[in-house]
Amino acid sequence: MARAAIQRRLIWRTAEVLENRAETPRVHRLVLDVPDWPGHLPGQHVVARLTAEDGYTAQRSYSLASPPDVPQLHLAVERLDGGEVSPYLTDELRRGDQLELRGPIGGYFVWSAAADRADGEQRPVQLVAGGSGVAPFLAMVDHHQRQGSPTALRLLYSTRTAADVIGRDVLGEETTVALTREHPPGWPGVTGRIDRDVLAHYAFPPAERPRVFVCGSTPFVEFVAATLIDLGHDPSAIRLERYGNSEELK
Partner 1 sequence: MAVLSRGFRRARPERDDGRLPPGQYDAGDDFPVLSAGPTPHTALERWDLSIDDATGGLARWSWEEFRALPHERITVDIHCVTTWSKFDTRWEGVALDTLLEHVEADSPYVLASCDGGYTTNVPLEDLVDGRAWVVDTYDGEPLAPEHGGPARLLVPHLYFWKSAKWLRRLSLLEQDEPGFWETFGYHNYGDPWREQRYSDD
- Between CA 198 and CA 76 the distance in angstroms is 26
Q: Is 96 in the site for partner 1 (CB under 8 A)?
A: no
Touching partner 1, residues 106-145 (CB under 8 A) = 106-109
* 226 contributes a contact to partner 1 by CB under 8 A: yes
Task: Tell me how far apart the alpha carbons of residues 196 and 95 are, in angstroms, rounded to a whole number.
Answer: 44
Which x/- pattern, by CB under 8 A, does the window 155-194 give for partner 1?
A: ----------------------------------------
Smallest CA-to-CA distance from 160 within 9, 18, 27, 45 is with 27
Decide: is 239 part of the binding site for partner 1 (CB under 8 A): yes
Among 25, 119, 201, 218, binds partner 1 (CB under 8 A): 218
Residue 194 and residue 91: Cα distance in Å, rounded? 31
**Is 218 strand, coil or helix?**
helix
- Applying CB under 8 A, among 36, 53, 81, 173 the residue interacting with partner 1 is 53
201: which residues sit within 8 A by CB, 6+ positions away? none
Site string for partner 1, 31-50 (x = CB under 8 A): ------------------xx
Residue 118 C-beta: closest distance to partner 1, Å: 18
Closest CA to 107 of 13, 12, 43, 11: 43
Q: Which is nearer to partner 1, 36 or 173 (CB)?
A: 36
Among positive and negative, which fits the CA dihedral 55, 36, 29, 21? positive
70: three-class secondary structure by DSSP: coil
Count of residues engaged in binding partner 1, rule: CB under 8 A: 54
- Per residue in 189-208, is it b (16+ CB within 10 Å) or e — as a string? bbeeebeeebbeebbbebee
Q: How far is the CB of 227 from partner 1 (least distance, A)?
A: 10
Applying CB under 8 A, the span of 18-26, 92-100, 145-153, 201-209 interacting with partner 1 comes to: 92-100
The footprint of partner 1 (CB under 8 A) covers 1, 3-10, 14, 49-61, 83-84, 88, 92, 97-100, 102, 105-109, 218, 222, 225-226, 228-229, 235-236, 238-240, 242, 244-246, 249-250
